[in-house]
Structure formats: structure tokens, C-alpha cells
């Protein structure tokens, strides 16, 4: 009994150490620019997500940090989940 209690306490301290690391690491999203073909990582604050009534009107947008072009790309369900989970500002174009 005392053995399992010891290993349990160790597990908690490891979990809290990982939780601390997660909160420090910034969330970044990889993106590419169709204009200058640049590839870069963007913070959540640099992205905007617009959710429309259908997948055709659901897209994310950002300004290319290399050439300044306004880039808009369609966002599938998985991308929407990723972006909203990462704290990207979301605009709902359609009331759900």
C-alpha cells in the first residue's frame, strides 16, 4: 500500500512539471504564402478564423509577414479545431 502511494505522488509531480512547460510554450501555426511562396510560423494572434454556414465559407486569414499579402485559405473541420483550440480569434458568419 505504501509503495503505490509513493509512485502515485511521483506521477503527480511529473504531470505538474509537464503542465508548466505547456503553458510557457507559445502556440504557433505553420502557414504558407501563395504569393511569395514563403513558409513561416504564425502566432495565434496573427490569424483570424471565419466560420460560415458551410465549409466553403469557412476560412482562415492572415497577413504574410514576408510580402504583406492578405492570405485567405479554406479551413476544414480539423483546421477549425486546431485554430480555435490554439486561441485564434474566431468570427462566426452564421448563427448556429
Please give the angle made by the CA atoms of 96, 56 and 89, to the nearest 5 degrees: 60
Return the number of the residue (66 or 81) whose C-beta is nearest Zn ion.
66
Cβ at position 39, least distance to Zn ion in Å: 10
Asked whether the beta carbons of 55 and 14 are under 8 A apart, the reply is: no
Return the number of the residue (36 or 93) whose C-beta is nearest Zn ion.
36
Cβ at position 82, least distance to Zn ion in Å: 21
Question: In this structure, what C-alpha cell is assigned to residue 64?
Answer: 504574410
Return the number of the residue (32 or 87) whose C-beta is nearest Zn ion.
32
Cβ at position 16, least distance to Zn ion in Å: 41
Number of Cβ atoms within 10 Å of the Cβ of 70? 9
* Terminal Cα-to-Cα distance of the chain (whole angstroms): 52
Task: Write the DSSP symbol of residue 65.
Answer: T
Return the number of the residue (32 or 74) whose C-beta is nearest Zn ion.
32
Q: Is 90 helix (H, G, I), strand (E, B) or coil?
A: strand
Cβ at position 59, least distance to Zn ion in Å: 17
Which residues sit at the interface with Zn ion, rule CB under 5 A?
A: 33, 35-36, 38, 64, 66-67, 69
Amino acid at each position: 500500500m505504501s509503495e503505490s502511494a509513493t509512485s502515485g505522488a511521483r506521477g503527480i509531480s511529473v504531470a505538474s512539471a509537464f503542465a508548466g512547460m505547456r503553458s510557457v510554450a507559445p502556440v504557433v501555426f505553420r502557414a504558407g504564402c501563395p504569393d511569395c511562396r514563403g513558409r513561416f510560423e504564425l502566432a495565434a494572434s496573427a490569424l483570424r478564423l471565419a466560420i460560415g454556414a458551410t465549409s466553403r465559407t469557412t476560412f482562415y486569414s492572415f497577413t504574410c509577414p514576408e510580402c504583406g499579402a492578405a492570405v485567405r485559405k479554406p479551413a476544414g473541420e480539423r483546421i477549425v479545431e486546431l485554430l480555435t483550440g490554439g486561441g485564434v480569434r474566431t468570427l462566426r458568419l452564421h448563427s448556429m
